[in-house]
Structure 1
Amino acid sequence: MSAAGPREPAQPATTFAVLGYGRFGQAFADLLLQAGHRVRAWDPHADLPAALAAASMPAAIGVARWIVLAMPVPHMRDALLALRPLLHAGQTVLDVGSVKLHPCAMMDELLGADIPHVGTHPLFGPLSLARDERPRRTVICPAADHPQAAARAGELFRDLGCEVIVQDPESHDRAMARTHALAFFIAKGLIDLGVDDGLPVAPPSFHGMKHMLAAVRGDAGHLFAAIQRENPFAAEARAQLLAELERVHRQLLDDADGDSLAISAPSA
């Protein structure tokens, strides 16, 4: 992250409770601080900076306007059950996970019409933030009962320098299955084969693959299993990819006509 100090936010400074201080929770807290906001963080499994650490979950969320769920998805239900008695309608809950169907359904179920909530997926991670890679995008999945929460979340992420994409949770997860999940699936296969980004001899066509391998490892390589298992469409996408690769493999073994094997050029 940049060493520059906090800047004045486009909107008045707001207090955020960041629940979960893993690699992304920490990076997102830093991004909020750089934008001039106030952050209180709580994670019983992490070492937190003293300036951000709250003594408890209630202490973290007490004066927060935004409650950021940055814990792993399997821990989210327990967190929401613990949170619900502490929340009021003046607060907005958002999650920052890479899948949306299950988290959004949980928030709808446990927070309902009383507590504003919205699903979000920031399409960046610690490495891309450190490199200040652009464009920086975030997907927002509005809750049917809380369109204003989605509108506020859009303003928040635009203030953080993001382009905002609005999708329903199913469309998001289907898109992520064919992009995010497949990229991690391919990267793991290549890395396990030894086709690493440290190879001394590689043609220019491999440079993009090197970037993907580095991004997967640097941003969220530790989340491989979660990205595959928590997206309900990832298994289908993997199976389709494997079937297509097998088809191409058989064509090559059968000495198919070269024209039928050519990789099509991008459409104009």
Structure 2
Amino acid sequence: MNAARPREPAQPAATFAVLGYGRFGRAFADLLTQAGHRVRAWDPHAAVPAALAAASMPATLADASWIVLAMPVPQLRDALLALRPLLHAGQTVLDVGSVKLHPCATMDELLGADFPHVGTHPLFGPLSLARGEPLRTVICPSAAHTEAAARAGELFRALGCEVVVQDPESHDRAMARTHALAFFVAKGLVGLGVGDDMALAPPSFQGMRHMLDAVRGDAGHLFAAIQRENPFAAEARAQLLAELERVHRQLLTGADDDRLAIPAPSA
């Protein structure tokens, strides 16, 4: 049985408009509903359950205090342009994309000082939620709306998340060397057929197997966006490839075992 996640005292029920009902939009809507919040969802490209579905985007936003942008990152600008005339200052807009520089800059540009907004990256997905794993969320405050970031922090803590506050550039740099590289390595392994037959996999491969399962189960379809929308991902991939090539050459040239040993973790 999964251990219960620690939660802050429950917040008063709020109404959420979830724009985008893909894998994460569905999972996040379920999490909000389980926490006692009211949720309406809108996605012209996905089937939304009747209990959550609204007839239109304006109907989705009616009476909502939180607007959740859960569409693919490349669609965010067009969504904000359509959304802006429908907003009022009592609503808070947050995005849940896995990159932050571009979405945060776009929200600052299009929503400005008029409408509270905050960038967020929930570091979990449907598989993490199903497993009952510890949840974390990164919050990237807008300089014009620090109070919105504080409210978002309270919201995610009440949902059982550890909250980390970062600026968008620091977030994307960190994700380039973790999230993006994990997906990059997983894509290569899956392309080679690694992980299809685990009958002879040694214990040392179990961590890699968990990574493959997580990538495939949570957001394998987001591979291109994670790589292309993060401005630091290409550099991280190039550095990884260069390092692997260096090790490959060492192996071919018969380098001393001491030079090839994998260092122990720092104390």
TM exceeds 0.5?
Answer: yes
Unpaired segments ≥5 residues, structure 1? none
Contact (CA 8 Å) 2:17, 2:40: kept in 1 or not? yes
Cα distance in 1 for partners of 2:16, 2:121 equals: 17
Contact (CA 8 Å) 2:70, 2:96: kept in 1 or not? yes
Residues 87-126 of structure 1: pairs in structure 2 closer than 5 A:
87-126=87-126
Specify the alignment match of 2:51 in structure 1: 51
CA deviation after TM superposition for structure 1 residue 118, in Å? 0.1
Cα distance in 2 for partners of 1:88, 1:210 equals: 47
CA deviation after TM superposition for structure 1 residue 81, in Å? 0.5
Cα distance in 2 for partners of 1:264, 1:75 equals: 43
Structure 2 counterpart SS, 1:154: helix
Q: How many residues align?
A: 262
Specify the alignment match of 1:25 in structure 2: 25
Specify the alignment match of 1:190 in structure 2: 189
Compute the TM-score of the two structures, normalised by the length of structure 2: 0.96
Specify the alignment match of 1:176 in structure 2: 175
Structure 2 counterpart SS, 1:216: helix
Cα distance in 2 for partners of 1:211, 1:161 equals: 23
Specify the alignment match of 1:66 in structure 2: 66
Contact (CA 8 Å) 1:141, 1:169: kept in 2 or not? yes
Specify the alignment match of 2:128 in structure 1: 128
Structure 2 residue 209 is matched with structure 1 residue 210:
yes
Specify the alignment match of 2:35 in structure 1: 35
Q: 2:85 is aligned with what amino acid?
A: P
Specify the alignment match of 1:141 in structure 2: 140
Structure 2 counterpart SS, 1:164: strand
Q: 1:251 is aligned with what amino acid?
A: Q
Identical counterparts, % of pairs: 85
CA deviation after TM superposition for structure 1 residue 24, in Å? 0.3
CA RMSD, aligned part only?
1.4
Residues 243-254 of structure 1: pairs in structure 2 closer than 5 A:
243-254=242-253
Question: Any idea what the Cα deviations from partners look like across 1:217-252, whole Å, max 9, x if unmatched?
Answer: 000001111111111100000000000000000111
The list of structure 1 runs, each at least 4 consecutive aligned residues, that deviate by more than 4 angstroms after superposition, is none
Cα distance in 1 for partners of 2:145, 2:8 equals: 28
Cα distance in 1 for partners of 2:85, 2:74 equals: 20
Contact (CA 8 Å) 1:9, 1:37: kept in 2 or not? no
Contact (CA 8 Å) 1:120, 1:138: kept in 2 or not? yes
CA deviation after TM superposition for structure 1 residue 8, in Å? 11
Contact (CA 8 Å) 2:8, 2:160: kept in 1 or not? no
Structure 2 residue 46 is matched with structure 1 residue 10:
no
Cα distance, 1:25–1:129 mapped onto 2, change above 3 Å = same
Question: Any idea what the Cα deviations from partners look like across 1:66-113, whole Å, max 9, x if unmatched?
Answer: 000000011111110011011111000000000000000000000000
CA deviation after TM superposition for structure 1 residue 198, in Å? 3.5
- The one of the two structures with greater contact order (alpha-carbon pairs below 8 A, sep at least 6) is 2
Contact (CA 8 Å) 2:186, 2:215: kept in 1 or not? yes
Compute the TM-score of the two structures, normalised by the length of structure 1: 0.96
Contact (CA 8 Å) 1:101, 1:169: kept in 2 or not? yes
Contact (CA 8 Å) 1:17, 1:60: kept in 2 or not? yes
Structure 2 counterpart SS, 1:119: strand
Cα distance in 1 for partners of 2:146, 2:111 equals: 14
Q: 2:251 is aligned with what amino acid?
A: L
Unpaired segments ≥5 residues, structure 2? none
Cα distance in 1 for partners of 2:8, 2:192 equals: 48
Contact (CA 8 Å) 2:118, 2:140: kept in 1 or not? yes
Structure 1 counterpart SS, 2:177: helix
Cα distance in 2 for partners of 1:61, 1:8 equals: 27
Question: Any idea what the Cα deviations from partners look like across 1:8-37, whole Å, max 9, x if unmatched?
Answer: 971110000000000000000000000000
Cα distance in 1 for partners of 2:202, 2:209 equals: 11
Q: 1:32 is aligned with what amino acid?
A: L
Contact (CA 8 Å) 1:197, 1:213: kept in 2 or not? no
